[in-house]
Amino acid sequence: MNRGKFILTALSGIPMLTFTKIKNNLYVRADRGFLINSGEGRLHGHIKLKGVNSNVLDVKISGSDTDGDLAIFEQTSLSQGKGTPLHVHHMQDEIFYVVMGSYYFQVGHEKFKLSKGDSIFLPRKVPHAWTQASKKGKMTVTVQPAGKLEDFFVTIAALDHEPSPKEMASIFSANDMQVVGPPLNIEEWK
């Protein structure tokens, strides 16, 4: 190999080494197991939501624990008749598991009633919404890949006011989601 080709070949690998270094600095994958006790949040304590409902969210597994591959949240639902607007996650799939209580979900054009022990899969790019049917409830939410949902929850919890629907739509958008319709009306399910 002549000297010019050798130097060119050697230099061509520098962008890849730089990308690898940058990627490794963005995430620090957990290198050992860890326990998150019942009723506790791993990184943020209890996140008190505003805007779409007044529920409490605990981060159980953060995207920062998994190189962004996965996040798991536990939501304690305290807002009967409230839930999310119809929205789309462009890059994440979601799985909800009902631990306690009952909920109504819309996924695309289909509607579902869920109660304790039920799970539902919400594929990325498909509009969906849910509302709390029971007085109290609890769900685990698994998001894959993690995306910016954790950032969304932290952002709305940090607000010093109840956000307007327009402000909520802007916060959704800033976190790679899009509001495409109103929340579900609980009266339509009775």
HEC string of 78-142 equals CCCCCECEEEEECCCEEEEEEEECEEEEEECCEEEEEECCCEEEECCCCCEEEEECCCCEEEEEE
**Ordered per-residue pLDDT tens for the chain, 190 residues:** 565 655 555 555 544 444 433 444 455 676 889 999 888 998 888 988 887 777 899 999 999 999 999 999 999 999 899 999 999 999 999 999 999 999 999 999 999 999 999 999 999 999 999 999 999 999 999 999 999 999 999 999 999 998 888 998 999 999 999 999 999 988 877 6
Q: What is the pLDDT, as a whole number, of residue 153?
A: 92
pLDDT value of position 22: 40
- Domains plus CATH for the chain? 47-189 (2.60.120.10)
The pLDDT score that the predictor gives to residue 7 is: 53
pTM: 0.81
Q: Which residues contact 176 (CB under 8 A, 6 or more apart)?
A: 89, 90, 91, 92, 147, 148
Query: What's the pLDDT score for residue 1?
Result: 57
Q: Are the CB atoms for 153 and 58 separated by under 8 Å?
A: no
